């Protein structure tokens, strides 16, 4: 069991560090709004994994993916939400996106909620859990529900540490870029590209 969990942890670290929609999103949010916002977003993304772990453990994910219509509907809803977020950033003033003293800055709770919704409305997270977790069951003939929740806990803990480190690093960088004109516009469009890119990623078969 210990060796399996260690291997699983190392694989999770590698995945968390690999460029992907979630860590790129955390990076861009942290650059634009500071490390606290990035960590709040990370907490939201990781919290959504609790639901995916439960769905996997109790076999509901398999039922959802088996229903083509329901699965496509979830993908469309998730992509539409991300495109809505991209539109909101597009409508916003670029200076607002990186100003620490602006009164319109969202609270950590809002970043947390966005992270949760993004995670839950991304069916590829569900598919990833179905494909990745079963390979690390240390006793497939025993209580798999317990094993899936243990793996889910390890996955969330490791991912939170790695993503938070990314957020803290980006937050330090943001203190520098906020003093340079023109960076706000770059960050604004970078966020839009990330949102649209994740939406496309969700819709691609």
- The pLDDT mean for the chain works out to 80
Indicate the helix (H) or strand (E) that contains 22.
Answer: helix 21-33
Lowest average pLDDT, out of 123-137, 160-174, 178-192, goes to 178-192
CB atoms within 10 A of CB 185: 13
User: Is 140's pLDDT higher than 50?
Assistant: yes
Q: How would residue 139 be classed by pLDDT, with cut points 50, 70 and 90?
A: confident
Residue 171 clears pLDDT 70, i.e. is over it: no
How far, in Å, CA of 55 to CA of 58, rounded? 5
Average pLDDT value for residue range 127-132: 79
Evaluate whether 106 touches 191 at the Cβ level (below 8 Å): no
Q: What is the dihedral of CA 43, 47, 52, 55, to 10 degrees?
A: 180
pLDDT surpassing 80 at residue 194: no
pLDDT band at 141 (very low <50, low <70, confident <90, very high): confident
pLDDT at 97: 45
Decide: residue 202, CB within 10 A, 0-12 exposed, 13-18 middle, 19+ buried: buried
Question: What pLDDT was estimated at residue 101?
Answer: 44
Q: What is the rounded CA–CA span in Å between residue 25 and residue 31?
A: 10
Q: Which tens digit of pLDDT belongs to each residue from 59-110?
A: 876 676 677 787 788 778 778 877 887 887 788 765 544 444 443 467 889 9
pLDDT of residue 183: 64
What predicted TM-score, i.e. pTM, was given to this entire model? Answer: 0.71
User: Could you read off the pLDDT of 10-23 as tens digits, one per residue?
Assistant: 888 887 886 667 88
Percent share of the chain, pLDDT over 70: 81
> Sorting pLDDT into bands at 50, 70 and 90, what band is 6?
very high
Distances (CA, A) of 173 to 37, 128, 141, 166, 189: 14, 31, 49, 11, 18
pLDDT at residue 162 is higher than 60 = yes
Higher pLDDT, 157 or 29: 157
């Amino acid at each position: 069991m210990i060796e399996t969990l260690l291997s699983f942890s190392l694989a999770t670290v590698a995945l968390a560090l690999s460029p992907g929609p979630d860590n790129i999103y955390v990076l861009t949010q942290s650059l634009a709004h500071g490390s606290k916002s990035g960590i709040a977003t990370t907490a939201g993304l990781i919290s959504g994994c609790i639901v995916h772990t439960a769905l996997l453990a109790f076999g509901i994910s398999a039922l959802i993916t088996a229903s083509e219509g329901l699965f496509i509907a979830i993908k469309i809803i998730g992509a539409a939400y991300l495109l809505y977020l991209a539109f909101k950033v597009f409508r916003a003033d670029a200076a607002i996106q990186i100003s620490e003293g602006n009164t319109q800055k969202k609270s950590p709770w809002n970043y947390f909620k966005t992270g949760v919704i993004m995670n839950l409305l991304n069916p590829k997270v569900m598919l990833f859990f179905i494909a990745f977790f079963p390979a690390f069951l240390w006793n497939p003939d025993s209580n798999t529900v317990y094993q899936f929740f243990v793996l889910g806990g390890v996955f969330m803990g490791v991912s939170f540490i790695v993503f938070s480190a990314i957020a803290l690093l980006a937050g330090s960088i943001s203190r520098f870029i906020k003093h340079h004109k023109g960076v706000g516009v770059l960050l604004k469009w970078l966020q839009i590209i990330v949102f649209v890119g994740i939406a496309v990623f969700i819709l691609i078969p």
